[in-house]
Structure 1
Amino acid sequence: MKIGYARVSTADQSLDLQLDALQAAGCERIFTEKASGAKDDRIELMRAMDTLRPGDVFAVYKLDRLARSTIKLISTISDIQKHGAEFVSLNDNIDTTTAAGKAMFGMLAVFAEFERNVIVERTNAGLAASRARGRNGGRPKTDAKKVTQALRMYDAKAATVAEITETTGVTKATLYRAIKERAAAK
C-alpha cells in the first residue's frame, strides 16, 4: 500500500497542492496534519507510521513536510524502514525503492552525522572559551547557610514549603534533596 503524509504549519495554509501530488502518485491513504514540523508529537504522523506494513511505501510531497532537521529526517526515515516500508519524497526525487534513492538516503545520513558532530564541536569550543574566561557552566551553587536555615524552618513546621523557599531563596527541589540526603546520612 502507498501511504501519503501531507502537512502544513498553520491552520490557514492549504494542503491542496500536496494532496493533489500524493493522489497523482497513487497514494491509497493520506494522512493530513496542520502542525509545526518542529513538533515531535504530530498525531497524524504517528498514526501514519503505525499503519505501515512490510512492502508499503510512505510518500511525502517534500522532505520538509516530514521533518525540519536532517537528524530528525534520518530518524523518521529509519523508523519507516524498520517497519519494512520504503520512503518516497515526490519533489526531491528520493525513492528508497531504487538503488539511487538508497544511495541518496545514505548520503543524507552522512550529512546528519556530520551535523551532529559539528554541533558537539561548537558546544565544546564554547564551553572551553567560557572556562578560559573564568566562567564555569552549570547551576550556581546554593549557599549552605541558606540550606541549613531552610532545614531548620522545615523542621520547626512554622512555615510552609512555599514560605521557606521565598524566605531563604532555596528552591523546593534543593530543600527536598537536602531532607533526603540528611535522612540517608542517619
Structure 2
Amino acid sequence: MLISDPSALAEVAAKLWRNGLPAVEEDLARAGGPVADALRRALARAAHLLSRAESERELRDALILRLTGVPELASMVEAFRAMSPGPGLRSRWPMSDQPAPGLARVLDGREGDARWCAWSPDGHWLVSISSGFSSDRRNAVRLWNARTWRPGPTFDHGADGSNWIYDCVLPSSGEWLATYAAGTVWIRDMDSMLAVFAEFEADLLKMRTREGMAIARSRGKLKGRQPKLTARQQAELARMHATGDYTIAELMEVFSIGRATVYRVLDRTKTTGTTGAETPR
C-alpha cells in the first residue's frame, strides 16, 4: 500500500469494506511513517462507527467525516473527497464528537452496554460482559483478540432471564474462564474457546476474501492466471511444430517455456483446429 499515492485512501476504504480494520492496520503497520501511523490511529479510534456502515459508499462518507481535521491526512482526505463519485455527506464544521487525545481505540460488540471487562494474564485477550442483546434480557461474554482487535464469538448461560451473568474471573494461568450467574458458576476451558475463536476468524477471512474476489471480477481486475504465450506466439509454436522441423526441446528453447506448456499449447491448437499439428516427438 503506497500511502504517498493520492488514491491511497480509496484503497484503504475498499480494503476496509472487504477485509475489515485488522487487515488494513497490518498494511499500515508495514508501510510505516508519520502518515501511515496517523491514519492507523484515526481508524482505530473510529472503528466502532466505521464497522456499522451498511454499504461501501456509506463507509467512504464516514471515512471523510472522521478523518477530516487530522493534520497529517489533510491532503489525502481532499484527494479522496475529489475522487468520490456522486453526492455524499459533507461536514461544514468539525465533528462535535471527536475522540479525546488519549483515546486509543473503541471496541463495539453490538450486544448492548459493556458492564464488565478483564484482561487475560498474558495480555493477548480481552473478556467483556454485555448488558444484553434481545428482549429476553440475555447477556453474554465476548472474547476480543488484543493483537488484531477482532471480536470473537459470544458465550452465555442460556435464554432464561435468571441466568444473568454478573461476573467472570480468569486465573493467573489463563487456562480457565469462570462466569457467575444466579447461583451457578460455569467453568470454560480457554483452549477450547480460543479454538472456536480461531475457526471464527478463519471463516470471516474466507468470506471477506470471496467478497473481494467477486468485486475484483466484476471490475475486470481479477482475470485469473495469464497464459505465458500470446495468441500469436501460440499459433507460431503450433505452425513450427507442424512443419516437423522442430523437436519439443527446441520449441522449449525458442519460446523459453517448459515442456508442459508446449504440450498444452499443442493440445489447445488441436482442439481449436487452428493448425494440423501432429503428435509431438
Q: Same fold (TM over 0.5)?
A: no
| TM-score normalised by L of structure 1 | 0.35
Bigger-Rg structure (1/2): 2
